[in-house]
Amino acid sequence: MAAVVASVSKTPTRTRRRLGIPIGWGFVTPFLVFFVIAILAPVVYAIYLSLFREQIVGGSGFVGFDNYVRAFTDPEFWAGVGRVIAFMIVQVPIMLAFSLIAALAIDSGRLRAPGFYRILLFLPYAVPGVVAVLIWGFIYGPRFGLVGSINNFLGAQIFTPLTPDWVLASIANISVWEFAGYNMVIFYAALRTVPSELYEAASLDGAGPLRTVMSIKLPALRGALVITTIFSIIGSFQLFNEPNLLKPIAPNAITSNFTPNLYAYTLSFAGQQYNYSATIAIVMGLITAIIAYVVQLRGTRKELA
């Protein structure tokens, strides 16, 4: 996205109102007002909160970086971080592979009615995350769900998606289902921008389908891959809806610190520990930003090489 910032100064007009206030500000200000209220102020307020602590007597006192020290040595917090990292390592590659293969297949011109596949695969994106988790929760249900029926048929508890061993994989499956189609559309859109002359040249050079994929299509997808990877990583670190909604049916498998977001939520709403909760939110935001930045750097460096 750095390239975008650089290219912003493209020939707009410089116009001034009589008062001397540039007219451009008139257009930008309404957005900025809400931007400040809904994004800047909460971030600043969270940083402020993270530097204080509720005292037993007399309100809250300034404690400097004590909350951060506590976060960095809090095993419950790091257990959640470990879990979302494990989730990310498994879920993101599977989902993006699904999306990539589907996009390449639809773009290959070797399917009948490619638009049909594109729309069907995209459908889950229109399903609210809550509904997706509820449906999968029913499917996973050991007593009355689809999995329960299959186990009954087999006469043994073969599939146990809601046990502590499997629940993370079960959540990963829900996320793949929700977002693979969305990423597929992004990849497909990127493939559509490849000029047809490139394919003609490749076929004149005798390049087969596989060679075309490796030498033309994958390089064309690099930008889209970087962006989808970054957003998938961010999504993994922010994991909340799925575990929180599966909690009622998997109370033993999903603990209150299952993911960092769930932990911060529990701290705020069950523990009233607002200061520490704000600290966790900030630390997670920082970790996410660093990882997203590293991915972007690596992605663009490859582009230069």
Partner 1 sequence: MRATPIERRRSRLVPRSSISLTILMVVLVLYTLVPLAYLVINSTKSQDDFFTSFGLSFGSSFNLFQNIGEVFSYNDGIYSRWFLNTIFYVVVSAGGATILAALAGYGIAKFRFRGRNAVFAVVLGAVAIPGTALALPTFLLFSSIGLVNTPWAIIIPSLVSPFGLYLMWTYATDAVPSEILEAARIDGAGEFRTFFTVSLRLLAPGLVTVLLFSIVTTWNNYFLPLIMLSDPKLYPLTLGLAQWNAQSTGTNADPIQNLIITGSLIAIIPLIAVFLFLQRYWQSGLAAGSVK
Q: Are 96 and 226 in contact (CB under 8 A)?
A: no
What is the rounded distance in angstroms from the CA atom of residue 145 to the CA atom of residue 137? 8
Stretch of 13-21, 51-59, 76-84, 157-165 lying at the interface with partner 1 (CB under 8 A): 13-21
Q: Is 32 in the site for partner 1 (CB under 8 A)?
A: yes
Residue 297 within binding range of partner 1, rule CB under 8 A: no
Least spacing, CB of residue 79 vs partner 1, in Å: 19
Residue with tokens 């047809």: 196
- Contact at 8 Å (CB) between 277 and 257? no
CA distance 48 to 110: 57
Q: How far is the CB of 69 from partner 1 (least distance, A)?
A: 20
Four-residue CA torsion sign, 276, 277, 278, 279: positive
CB atoms within 10 A of CB 128: 10
Region near partner 1 per CB under 8 A, out of 64-72, 78-86, 98-106, 164-172: 98-106
Task: Note whether 101 binds partner 1 by CB under 8 A.
Answer: yes
Q: State how far the Cα of 174 lies from the Cα of 135, in Å rounded to an integer.
A: 10
Q: Supply the minimum distance, in Å, between the C-beta of residue 110 and partner 1.
A: 4
- State which of positions 262-281 bind partner 1 (CB under 8 A): 264-265, 268-269, 274, 277-278, 281
Q: Which of residues 113-132 bind partner 1 (CB under 8 A)?
A: 117, 119-132
Q: How far is the CB of 61 from partner 1 (least distance, A)?
A: 17
Q: How far is the CB of 265 from partner 1 (least distance, A)?
A: 7
Three-state secondary structure readout of 234-263 = HHHHCCCHHHHHHCCCCCCCCCCCCCHHHH
Beta pairing class for 52-54 and 60-62: antiparallel
204 binds partner 1 (CB under 8 A): no
Minimal distance in Å, beta carbon 111 to partner 1? 6
Number of residues in contact with partner 1, rule: CB under 8 A? 113
Task: Establish if 285 lies at the interface with partner 1 (CB under 8 A).
Answer: yes
Site string for partner 1, 221-250 (x = CB under 8 A): --xx--xx-xx--xx-xx-xx--xx--xx-
How far is the C-alpha of 76 from the C-alpha of 256, rounded, in Å? Answer: 9
Which tokens go with 176?
A: 């793949």
11 is a contact residue toward partner 1 (CB under 8 A): yes
Could you tell me the smallest distance in angstroms from the CB atom of residue 138 to partner 1?
7
97 interacts with partner 1 by CB under 8 A: no
Q: How far apart are CA 300 and CA 305, in angstroms?
A: 9
